[in-house]
Amino acid sequence: MKANYKTGILTIILMITASLAFPQDFPDWPVPDNEAAVENPVEATKESIAAGKALFNMQCKACHGETGKGDGLIKSANLVSEIFTAQTDGAIYYKLHSGRGQMPPFASQPEEQLWNVINYIRLLSMDPEDMVMKNAIISIIFDENSEKKEVTAKVEEFAEDGTKAPVANVKVNFGVKRYFGVLPISTTSTFTDAAGEVSVFFPDDIIGNETGKLIVVAALEDMEYNPVEASAEISWGLENPNDYWTERRALWKNNDYVPIWLLISFIGGALAVWGCIGYVALLVFRIKRIGDKVS
């Protein structure tokens, strides 16, 4: 009987484990020799890698994961594995272009974009230990009274003698702080010039607070520098006339804005019911006291 019971439990555990089914390796994906021999015509410049990263994040990250390890939403190829990185750029291009199974073909993308993505994927498999990151400082410059509404970010680093030197050709992302993150306001590739500066025009349709104030953020994103960002309050936003709902209590808002009627009925109801239960407990206690006295 005891042995049977144990076998039963074992069977159950086995069944559960089996249902997990470990992922198998992907079958070989042969690439024609002439395709594999194609050389990457796009140099791995910062611009190319930045464009590749943008496309990677949009089209590849969901399945292959942020770091390309194949740990995204579904079982997918590990882009930083030795088997993968041993391939030529041409072979990877062929696979991106033609697709297979759950990997969709990206033939509709411009050729250059696919090469950009390949340049970015190559970067993913680099050992972070080998990449010595430098520190930079970033500042935001703007003229609040200017008609042009231009925001400039200046990136500098400290030279060995302690003086500040501009950092050229690094990417700066501009954005506006919102409730749940940063809304990008720079859509083109924004790289610093020889003076370490890059500017964007502030869009005229961004809503600020009731007086039009908002926070502009400029963030440095580069593979040679540690990420750093600067922010500044600017009053270039549209005035938000519709603050009615942000100050009002409503069912869909957080606990600080509970509707009064709900607060009263919820707490009132709970107190009434638990008050009654408490009163009954008191009655039971009195029954016991009488019982103790009689006996």
Partner 1 sequence: MSGSTEKKKTAQSGGFEQISEDLIRPLYHNTFGNQVYIRVLIFFIIVGVIAYGHQLIDGLGLTAMRDYTSWGIYIASFVFWVAVSLIGSLISAILKLLSQNWSTPLSRISELIALGAIAMAAASIVIDMGRPDRVLNIPLHGRIQSPIIWDFLVVNTYLVISAVLLYLPLIPDIAIMRDKMTGIPKWQKKTYEMLALGWQGTQEQWKLLKKAIWIMIILILPVAFSIHTVTSWLFATTSRTGWHSTIFGPYFVSGAFVAGAAAVVIAMYIFRKRHKLQDYLTDKQFDMMGKLLVLTMLIYLYFNINEYLVPGYRWGRLDGAHIHELFLGHEAPLFWMTQILGLILPIFLLMFKGMRKPGPSLVIACFVLLGAWVKRVLIVIPTQFHPQFPIQNVPESWLHYIPTWTEMLITLGTVAGALLIITLLVRIFPVIPIWEVAHEKGYHKIFKAEK
- Here the tokens at position 12 are 């159950």
Among 6, 263, 268, 271, which residue sits at the site for partner 1 (rule: CB under 8 A)? 263
Q: Does 287 bind partner 1 (CB under 8 A)?
A: yes
Q: How far apart are CA 142 and CA 150, in angstroms?
A: 6
Three-point CA angle 111, 117, 122, nearest 5°:
130
Q: Which stretch binds partner 1 (CB under 8 A): 50-58, 124-132, 169-177, 280-288?
A: 280-288
Inter-CA distances, 80 with 35, 64, 128, Å = 21, 10, 12
Cβ 16 to partner 1 shortest distance, Å:
6
Q: How far apart are CA 228 and CA 170, in angstroms?
A: 12
One-letter amino acid of 85: T
Q: Which stretch binds partner 1 (CB under 8 A): 45-53, 111-119, 163-171, 275-283?
A: 275-283
**Contact map string, positions 64 to 83, toward partner 1, x by CB under 8 A:** ---------xx---------
Contacts of residue 32, Cβ cutoff 8 Å, sequence gap at least 6 = 94
Within 227-256, which residues bind partner 1 (CB under 8 A)?
A: 251-255
Considering the complex, state which of residue 194 and residue 260 has its C-beta at the smaller distance from partner 1: 260
- Here the tokens at position 207 are 């809503």
Q: How far apart are CA 41 and CA 115, in angstroms?
A: 8
Could you list the residues that contact partner 1 (CB under 8 A)? 5, 8-9, 12-13, 15-16, 19-20, 73-74, 251-255, 258-259, 262-263, 266, 270, 273-274, 276-277, 279-280, 283-284, 286-288, 290-292, 294-295
